[in-house]
């Protein structure tokens, strides 16, 4: 009765969603700060002034939203937390594609650029939705182990990509490690990778780092950058993601979208997204607060003998000799705080800690000080 393709599906497991009590939630890399007041005002005004639009189909191409995203990138330089960031060309709306969160956008990316006749190259430990989509679309994988220092093994990834004429995908900064390749390192990879295959860089956490790969789009026509509103733009509860790429590649993704769901981004999400882009400075300030708490928590743990990987994200990845990651997770949970533990072989000793407000992180420090 069920299709055989279901045998290859291994669903993504999200961070725990508490139901039995109220927890401090530091397990899903959500933004601890609320959206801009301008967002709630825009949505409220839209519903009050144009309630009929809830009953009408939205702009299928999200043109005004794409223009707002392009303007935000141009004004901010592509990294909300870094006021010195810049893009040496003008990002235009035809370089933007929007979808229901970066997960849907990634689904379209996998369908558009990856074939089932050769493996895609990706790190062994990276965003765990990539293998889910490989199973969904019957795409073989070449999972390259990380180096002993937890960095991407870029030489091995390039060797495999060239050996099989394969596409490449990874998160930068990577998840769950939090490590970022520099823009120059990514550029060197693309120069040596197959020229006729898509090179996908997932910048979900870029606004908490120092630089973006967007400037590389001027040189590399096969580069596709995936972004999300969920992290730095406090949008996890609404769902909005986007792609930045060469206009010709964006057209190809639109072909896939229009063959699956002609109206992916709804009226209220487009309204909220546009308002978010206009107040990007507010979110940049929040991202800097997150970075400050990230460094404070890293120092706190290291002073107590923890191994903490240097992070360029809104989370840290840490372990302590003699402590099982599962035990750390359970101990902290008893204190009313949720963090993330992965049972995946190779990283099962670690816990991933999303960065919250100062008050939330102080509570976590209290819960972890004697571990």
| Domain match, 122 and 148 both | yes
| Domain match, 304 and 222 both | no
Quote the pTM value.
0.94
Residues in a beta bridge with 143: 122
Q: Model confidence over 220-270: pLDDT tens digits?
A: 999 999 999 999 999 999 999 999 999 999 999 999 999 988 888 999 999
| Domain match, 276 and 303 both | no
Task: Point out the domain boundary residue: 281, 299, 324.
Answer: 281
Q: Model confidence over 103-122: pLDDT tens digits?
A: 999 999 999 999 999 999 99
Q: How many domains does the chain have?
A: 2
| Domain match, 348 and 322 both | yes
pLDDT above 70 for 12: no
Task: Point out the domain boundary residue: 258, 281, 304.
Answer: 281
pLDDT average, residue stretch 278-299: 98
| Domain match, 98 and 225 both | yes
- Domain containing 160 equals 37-281
| Domain match, 48 and 89 both | yes
CATH number at residue 155: 3.40.640.10
| Domain match, 144 and 247 both | yes
Q: Greater confidence, 2 or 284?
A: 284
| Domain match, 239 and 339 both | no
Task: Point out the domain boundary residue: 281, 307, 331.
Answer: 281
Q: How confident is the model at residue 89 (pLDDT cuts 50, 70, 90)?
A: very high
CATH number at residue 295: 3.90.1150.10
| Domain match, 138 and 220 both | yes
pLDDT at 6: 73
């Amino acid at each position: 009765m069920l299709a055989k393709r279901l045998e290859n599906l291994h669903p993504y497991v999200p961070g725990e969603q508490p139901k039995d009590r109220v927890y401090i939630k530091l397990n899903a890399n959500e933004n601890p700060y609320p959206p801009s007041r301008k967002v709630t005002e825009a949505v409220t005004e839209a519903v009050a002034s144009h309630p009929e639009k809830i009953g009408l189909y939205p702009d299928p191409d999200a043109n005004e939203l794409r223009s707002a995203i392009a303007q935000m990138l141009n004004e901010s330089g592509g990294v909300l937390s870094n006021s010195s960031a810049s893009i040496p060309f003008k990002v235009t709306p035809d370089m933007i594609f929007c979808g229901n969160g970066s997960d849907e956008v990634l689904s379209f990316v996998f369908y558009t650029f990856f074939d089932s006749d050769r493996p895609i190259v990706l790190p062994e430990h990276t965003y765990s939705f990539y293998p889910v989509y490989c199973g969904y679309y019957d795409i073989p994988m070449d999972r390259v182990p990380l180096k002993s220092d937890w960095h991407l093994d870029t030489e091995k990834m390039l060797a495999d990509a060239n050996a099989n004429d394969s596409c490449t995908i990874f998160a930068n900064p990577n998840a769950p490690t939090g490590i970022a390749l520099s823009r120059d390192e990514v550029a060197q990879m693309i120069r040596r990778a197959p020229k006729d295959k898509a090179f996908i860089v997932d910048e979900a956490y870029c606004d908490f780092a120092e630089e973006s790969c967007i400037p590389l789009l001027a040189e590399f026509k096969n580069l596709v950058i995936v972004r999300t509103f969920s992290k730095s733009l406090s949008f996890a509860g609404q769902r909005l993601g986007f792609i930045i790429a060469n206009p010709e590649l964006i057209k190809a993704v639109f072909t896939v979208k229009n063959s699956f769901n002609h109206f992916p981004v709804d009226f209220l999400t487009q309204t909220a997204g546009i308002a978010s882009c206009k107040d990007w400075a507010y979110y940049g300030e929040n991202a800097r607060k997150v970075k400050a708490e990230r460094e404070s928590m890293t120092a706190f743990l290291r002073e107590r003998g923890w191994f903490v990987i240097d992070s360029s994200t809104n989370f840290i990845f840490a372990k302590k000799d003699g402590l099982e990651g599962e035990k750390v997770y359970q101990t902290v949970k008893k204190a009313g705080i949720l963090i993330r533990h992965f049972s995946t072989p190779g990283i099962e000793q670690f816990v991933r800690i999303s960065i919250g407000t100062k008050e939330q992180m102080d509570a976590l420090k209290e819960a972890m000080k004697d571990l």
